[in-house]
Amino acid sequence: MPKTAGPRGDIGRRLTHRREELGLSREQVAERAGVATAYLQYVEERPSANPGPSFMLRVAEALQTTVPHLRGGDADLPPGTGAAPTHPVFTELPPQESMALLSGHGVGRIALTTDAGPAILPVNYDVIDGDIVLRTAPADPVSLAAGHEVAFEVDRIDEALSSGWSVLVVGPADEVTDAGEVRGLRGRAYTTPWVGGDREMWLRIRPVRVTGRRITAG
């Protein structure tokens, strides 16, 4: 994912993330919104920036999102609170496209059975050589996935367009114990677990069944 140098406030981070998500440059967004590129850069990079409502409305429209989303007003709400599209189009995705949607890393959900019963837990993951790779700790419930078949799910919701997709991967999860393999995974992994702590137990999920679904506005 492209990186933007310099400190940014919440609005700047969300604005930059959405712009990069759409694959747009600052110049392209500024032209679409009818704002100055220099001021757009200022908003993205200055934590103290507090742009007015006119700027926010124009930029939100150019980024196909909403002002509350750019301001973080929906940060504590579950995804999908917007209205359904008027004429939704449901599409089943082939396995290759589904795996491509997982990108190289992100946050997904692993479904497994714990001592307390079934559980679905959020985890940071990477896709390395076609496998889902994640890190945990031996005392963490996620570690119970080792040696069992699990389900792993990733989804993306676009509130502004009332659209989104989901991908489900099913396959065996195994602990990576070879020191050389662990070093290789550590060197290629994009991120460390957001939850922090000592999490050096590596799990690999080998996809056996991959299904995907997409909903768009007709």
CA-CA distance, 130 to 207, in Å (whole number)? Answer: 8
Q: Tell me, rounded to whole angstroms, the distance of Cα 58 from its chain centroid.
A: 25
Query: Within 13 Å of residue 121, how many CA atoms lie on the same side as its CB?
Result: 21
CATH architecture of 88-217: Roll (2.30)
- Name the pLDDT band for 214 (thresholds 50, 70, 90): very high
**Intra-chain end-to-end CA distance of the chain, in Å:** 29
What are the start and end residues of each CATH 1.10.260.40 domain in the chain? 10-71
Looking at residues 40-45, what average pLDDT do you find? 93
- Name the pLDDT band for 144 (thresholds 50, 70, 90): very high
- Name the pLDDT band for 4 (thresholds 50, 70, 90): very low
What are the start and end residues of each CATH 2.30.110.10 domain in the chain? 88-217
Q: Give which of 85, 89, 109, 82 is closest to 167, Cα–Cα.
A: 109
- Name the fold adopted by 10-71: 434 Repressor (Amino-terminal Domain) (1.10.260)
CA-CA distance, 172 to 207, in Å (whole number)? Answer: 8
Q: How many residues does the chain have?
A: 218
Residue 7: its pLDDT value, please? 37
CA-CA distance, 9 to 151, in Å (whole number)? Answer: 36
Looking at residues 57-68, what average pLDDT do you find? 89
What's the mean pLDDT when you consider all of the chain? Answer: 87
CA-CA distance, 108 to 106, in Å (whole number)? Answer: 7
Bigger pLDDT: 138 or 82?
Answer: 138
Q: Give which of 152, 142, 138, 137 is closest to 205, Cα–Cα.
A: 152
50, burial (CB in 10 Å: exposed 0-12, middle 13-18, buried 19+)? exposed
Residue 85: its pLDDT value, please? 66
